């Protein structure tokens, strides 16, 4: 089958063996797959991964040990737990000691014609949700994890730092809480996509200090966290959504003196993401920059703005 294989260098191949279905698994034909910033960080050495990249997708179940899934249009959770450790026994598969992660750790990803996934990782896409909406289910669930971990109240003043793909999804989610929302970024064109969700501010024009109850950093760089520390108020909360392949040099004294809460947030509830899509509370308008084939992977990974989607139906 076709796939994008990474072993220190990304390459397009057509000789990759088909994955073999194991107990309690399904064989899934990929329809669309999205490039995430994490995929780009893997190319820089993050996760030290070798194999097929990609974890954002929508597909069709072609075969399964659960015959009720065959023919269903689905998305899938990316963390595969061992079901034996203390975290798995508590339902915290995302923190399993020995977990595999689709397209990142020990499990080939979705930039290929086919994948396999455990049946309990699979979620059926509602009829009213399009394929190109469904491909956002995984990053939208990551945005929802913020509200799963922290109670954002309508009275809270909340800032999102970062106007990229994840920042825009987080803006859509947090606007549903009726909080006083501000989105901070570098690109007016991107900020205009979320101007109906809250106030938008170019970071070069930011003149706010110690103001926000909650600040969400999804910039993917050290500077975003520095800005977050400057604009969060004492005893406020900084929520970190960025993953990147570098060490960050920071002085935590400011956090200590101002009693700042630091909260990491990662993968979230995919069933809730699909419900939001089904209820038309999510829009993919303006989020997709280009749709291309796997063969055009070099151009796809070079794109600096917007979401790039691989159409696996294309030659």
> What is the spatial distance between Cα 85 and Cα 78, in angstroms, rounded to a whole number?
18
Confidence check: pLDDT of 294 > 90: yes
Which of 26-30, 164-168, 304-308 shows the highest mean pLDDT? Answer: 26-30
Cα separation of the two ends of the chain: 12
* pLDDT at 30 (0 to 100): 98
* pLDDT at 21 (0 to 100): 95
Q: How confident is the model at residue 245 (pLDDT cuts 50, 70, 90)?
A: low
**Region of residue 259 (phi > 0: left; psi between -120 and 50: alpha; otherwise: beta):** left
Helices 137-149 & 165-174, crossing angle to 10 degrees? 50
* pLDDT at 209 (0 to 100): 83
| Residue found under tokens 């920059």 | 289
* pLDDT at 48 (0 to 100): 87
Confidence check: pLDDT of 244 > 70: no
DSSP category for residue 12: E
Confidence check: pLDDT of 33 > 90: yes
Strands (E), 173-305: 180-185, 199-202, 212-217, 232-240, 261-264, 288-292
Confidence check: pLDDT of 176 > 70: yes
Confidence check: pLDDT of 249 > 80: no
What digits encode the pLDDT tens for the residues 207-220?
Answer: 888 899 999 999 88
> What is the spatial distance between Cα 180 and Cα 194, in angstroms, rounded to a whole number?
14
Confidence check: pLDDT of 60 > 70: yes
* pLDDT at 246 (0 to 100): 66
> What is the spatial distance between Cα 287 and Cα 176, in angstroms, rounded to a whole number?
19
Q: What percent of the chain has pLDDT over 70?
A: 98
- Mean pLDDT over 290-309 rounds to 90
- Mean pLDDT over 231-249 rounds to 84
Confidence check: pLDDT of 4 > 70: yes
Confidence check: pLDDT of 184 > 70: yes
The DSSP bridge pattern shows strands 106-107 and 51-52 to be unpaired
Burial class (CB in 10 A: 0-12, 13-18, 19+), 222: middle
* pLDDT at 223 (0 to 100): 86
Cβ atoms within 10 Å, residue 119:
16
DSSP category for residue 19: P
Looking at 42-46, 57-61, 62-66, which range is the least confident one? 42-46
> Mind spelling out the 3-state secondary structure of 99-154?
CEEECCEEECCCCECEEEEEHHHEEECCCCCCHHHHCCHHHHHHHHHHHHHCCCCC
- Mean pLDDT over 76-105 rounds to 91
Q: How confident is the model at residue 305 (pLDDT cuts 50, 70, 90)?
A: low
Mean pLDDT of the chain: 93
* pLDDT at 97 (0 to 100): 87
DSSP category for residue 18: P
Long-range contacts made by residues 18-24, C-beta under 8 angstroms, separation at least 24? 18/114, 19/108, 19/114, 19/115, 19/116, 20/116, 21/63, 21/64, 21/65, 21/116, 22/116, 23/65, 24/65, 24/66, 24/118, 24/119, 24/120
Confidence check: pLDDT of 29 > 70: yes
């Amino acid at each position: 089958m076709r796939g994008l294989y990474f072993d220190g260098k990304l390459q397009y191949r057509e000789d990759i063996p088909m994955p073999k279905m194991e107990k309690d698994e399904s064989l899934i034909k990929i329809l669309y797959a999205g490039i995430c910033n994490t995929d780009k960080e893997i190319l820089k050495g993050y996760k030290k991964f070798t194999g097929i990249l990609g974890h954002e997708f929508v597909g069709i179940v072609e075969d399964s040990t659960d015959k009720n899934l065959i023919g269903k249009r689905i998305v899938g959770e990316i963390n595969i737990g061992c079901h034996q450790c203390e975290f798995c026994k508590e339902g915290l598969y995302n923190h399993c000691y020995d977990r595999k992660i689709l397209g990142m750790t020990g499990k080939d990803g979705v930039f290929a014609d086919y994948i396999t996934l455990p049946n309990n990782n699979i979620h059926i896409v509602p009829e009213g949700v399009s394929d190109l909406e469904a491909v956002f289910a995984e990053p939208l669930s990551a945005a929802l994890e913020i509200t799963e971990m922290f109670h954002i109240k309508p009275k809270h003043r909340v800032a999102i730092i970062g106007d990229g793909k994840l920042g825009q999804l987080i803006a859509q989610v947090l606007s549903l809480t009726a909080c006083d929302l501000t989105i901070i970024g570098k690109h007016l064109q991107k900020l205009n996509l979320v101007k109906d969700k809250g106030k938008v501010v170019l970071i070069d024009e930011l003149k706010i200090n110690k103001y926000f109850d909650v600040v969400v950093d999804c910039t993917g760089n050290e500077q975003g966290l520095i800005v977050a520390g400057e604009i969060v108020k004492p005893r406020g909360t900084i929520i970190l959504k960025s993953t990147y392949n570098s060490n960050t040099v920071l002085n935590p004294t400011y956090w200590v003196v101002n009693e700042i809460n630091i909260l990491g947030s990662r993968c979230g509830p995919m069933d809730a993401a699909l419900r939001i899509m089904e209820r038309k509370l999510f829009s993919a308008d303006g989020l997709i920059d280009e749709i291309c084939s796997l063969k055009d992977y070099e151009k796809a990974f070079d794109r600096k703005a917007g979401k790039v989607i691989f159409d696996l139906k294309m030659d």
